[in-house]
């Protein structure tokens, strides 16, 4: 077995050991593949993936940036490399292989997408309905509930329960099956859009009942082919760019934030509730600079504290010393040959 095949196989195992969403596990070892090819092109011999020299990783990252790789993709690659090497037992990879240490620029997401107005959303629905009725229902769920594309695609089994809760006066909808990484969250219903939300759920449920409980059905009647068809239809409808399908989540975030502020909720609590409804957890900085960028001025009083290190150094001397290798699942499960 050649070096690339051996390291690629090991990276797949470590990605599975690290855990996470199924798509995340696949993306990790796919993102590290170019590094393995780069090592082979330079003739760098690596006995084990954890023995990859840091200077080779730094050279690889700078080479990718010179080739025009976007900052967001470069940061994803370095993150995947850092996670897999850390899982393999590399000692100082978390500090030596960080994005800041390697000089990877930050991704600028401002202006990439923006929230749609109600008039723009009506035009988006018209273009989607001209392609397929199920696509229009999917976008409505994204707009009123803040779902991701795949979440809306998989939400068919939740529609009946959600509709019953909203009709009963519920302000939040529980969501776990079909959510990203199946993380439980509660979607907030925008009070001023409750009637529109009920109509969207009713029409989507009626459509699913008439189409085998699917909003969009792929060629092979599975999620993979359904996602492929969804991408093709969004492209055919011209729903991309600033007003892409993901901008419907921006609209939900902005509408929810404005509704909460009108009810007298503090800006700090508003940001937290918007982030929780979108399924992002405690990521106030990203919510303000991305989803709420158009109304950022309304949150000028929000102060985001600096993140506290998980394990701060106890002494000045210990600050420069590499931490001990942590016992991880892969180290306990696999027997490494001594270098």
Residues in Cβ contact with 107 at an 8 Å cutoff, skipping those fewer than 6 apart = 70, 71, 72, 75
Q: How far is CA 103 from CA 51, 67, 106, 286, in A?
A: 22, 15, 9, 21
Categorize the per-residue pLDDT at 334 as very low, low, confident or very high, splitting at 50, 70 and 90: very low
30-38 average pLDDT score: 91
Q: pLDDT, tens digit, for every residue of 68-106? A: 888 888 999 998 988 888 888 776 666 677 788 888 888
Q: Across all residues in the chain, what is the average pLDDT? A: 85
- pLDDT for residue 333: 43
Give the whole-number percent of the chain exceeding pLDDT 90. Answer: 48
Categorize the per-residue pLDDT at 208 as very low, low, confident or very high, splitting at 50, 70 and 90: very high
Could you tell me the pTM of the whole model?
0.77
- pLDDT for residue 101: 80
Q: What is the 3-state secondary structure (H, E, C) of 50-119?
A: HHCCHHHHHHHHHHHHHCCCCHHHHHHHHHHHHHHHHHHCCCCHHHHCCCCCCCCCCCCCCCCCCCCCHH
- pLDDT for residue 299: 92
CA distance 4 to 74: 21
Q: pLDDT, tens digit, for every residue of 244-296? A: 999 999 999 999 999 999 999 999 999 999 999 999 877 888 899 889 999 99
């Amino acid at each position: 077995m050649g070096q690339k095949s051996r390291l690629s196989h090991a990276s797949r195992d470590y990605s599975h050991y690290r855990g996470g969403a199924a798509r995340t596990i696949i993306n990790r070892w796919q993102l590290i593949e170019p590094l393995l090819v780069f090592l082979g092109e330079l003739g760098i011999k690596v006995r084990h993936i954890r023995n990859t020299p840091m200077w080779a990783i730094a050279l690889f990252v700078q080479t990718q940036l010179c080739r025009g790789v976007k900052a967001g993709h470069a940061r994803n690659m370095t993150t995947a490399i850092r996670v897999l090497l850390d899982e393999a037992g590399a000692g100082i990879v978390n500090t030596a292989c960080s994005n800041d240490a390697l000089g990877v620029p930050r991704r600028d997401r401002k202006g990439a997408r923006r929230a749609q107005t109600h008039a723009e959303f009506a035009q988006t629905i018209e273009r989607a309905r001209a392609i397929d009725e199920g696509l229009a229902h999917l976008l409505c769920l994204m707009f009123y509930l803040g779902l991701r594309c795949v979440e809306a695609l998989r939400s068919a089994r939740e529609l009946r329960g959600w509709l019953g809760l909203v009709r009963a006066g519920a302000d939040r909808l529980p969501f776990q099956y079909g959510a990203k990484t199946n993380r439980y969250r509660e979607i907030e219903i925008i009070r001023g859009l409750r009637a529109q939300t009920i109509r969207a759920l009713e029409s989507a449920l009626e459509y699913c009942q008439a189409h085998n409980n699917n909003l969009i059905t792929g060629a092979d009647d599975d999620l993979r082919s359904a996602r492929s068809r969804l991408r093709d239809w969004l492209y055919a409808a011209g729903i991309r760019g600033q007003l892409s399908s993901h901008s419907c989540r921006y609209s939900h975030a902005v509408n929810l934030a404005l509704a909460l502020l009108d009810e007298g909720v503090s800006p700090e609590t508003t940001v937290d509730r918007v982030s929780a409804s979108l399924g992002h957890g405690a990521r106030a900085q990203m919510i303000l600079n991305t989803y709420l960028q158009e109304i950022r001025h309304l949150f000028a009083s929000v102060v985001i504290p600096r993140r506290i290190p998980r394990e701060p150094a106890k002494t000045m001397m210990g600050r420069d010393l590499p931490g001990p290798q942590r016992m991880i699942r892969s180290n306990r499960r696999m027997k490494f040959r001594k270098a």
